[in-house]
Amino acid sequence: MVKVKVNNVEVEVPQEAYIIDAVEKAGFRVPLLCYLQGLFNEATCRVCVVKANGRVVPACRFPVQEGMNIVTSDDELEKMRKINFELLLATHNIHCWDCYRKSTCTLSTLSRELGVEGIPVCSECPLYGEECLVKQGIPCLGPLTVAGCDAECTRQSAPCIGCRGFTSSIDVWRNAIKYYRDNGISREHLESALSIFWVVIPVKLREIINEVYKQ
């Protein structure tokens, strides 16, 4: 057994333990994405970074050492986690409205926790498959709206009206507009819904609408 300190709280853990084990035993937590205990712990996402004796390391794969001093959160770590997560999102194919993991989405949870904008409300919508309001012909703005409200509107079978503001990802915009078109939402109905939040639709979004609805 070895003794380490996590945010000045001393704990004793097995010599073969990783930092994540000490953090959890001390009663703290760090964000986790790729780590699945007993299944996968290759430290590929770098969302769980902490400082061990001043050195930035992944908590899920870095072994403890006697007398190690671990810091789980400070301004530098929070900034690193946010940047790493944003890079992961940049390569993620965001089709939350058709994802079977929506409403239990880890990415949505981490987006909220790390203050990253980019995942739409659909990622936390409780409706599945043909129950999706867009698939019922209702111009719900969830596919374009920033997540974080726990989709209270759709839980009441009411369409999202975009009150949290719209995502800034052009890829999300394009995929969402195609989703509206493919589910029979007319351009007129979509623009009417958008006008609830936007008096003037952003130029780039207008261009995407023009492009998609001409196909």
pLDDT at 40 over 50: no
The DSSP symbol for 44 reads -
Beta strand 69-71 with 55-58 is: unpaired
Computed from CA positions of residues 28, 30, 31, 32, in that sequence, does the dihedral angle turn out positive or negative? negative
Domain boundaries, the chain: 2-84, 94-214
The DSSP symbol for 34 reads S
Cβ neighbors of 115 (< 8 A, separation 6 or more) are 82
Predicted confidence at residue 39, as pLDDT, reads 44
Q: Right CATH number for 2-84 from 3.40.50.11030, 3.10.20.740, 3.40.1280.10, 3.40.640.10?
A: 3.10.20.740
Specify the range with the lowest mean pLDDT, choosing from 17-31, 78-92, 131-145.
Answer: 78-92
Mean of pLDDT values over 35-48? 66
pLDDT at 38 over 70: no
What's the token pair of residue 187? 């351009």
The DSSP symbol for 79 reads H
In 3D space, the residue among 52, 54, 47 whose CA is nearest the CA of residue 70 turns out to be 52
Mean of pLDDT values over 144-160? 89
Phi-psi group of 118: left, alpha or beta (phi > 0 → left; psi -120 to 50 → alpha; rest → beta): left
Mean of pLDDT values over 184-208? 91
Residue 11, beta-bridge partner list: 4
How much of the chain exceeds pLDDT 70, in percent? 95
Predicted confidence at residue 66, as pLDDT, reads 95
- Ranges of beta strands (E only) in 33-164 are 49-52, 55-58, 69-71
What's the token pair of residue 171? 């890829």
pLDDT at 183 over 70: yes
Using only C-alpha atoms, the chain has a radius of gyration, in whole angstroms, of: 21
In 3D space, the residue among 41, 23, 25 whose CA is nearest the CA of residue 33 turns out to be 41
Average pLDDT, the chain: 90
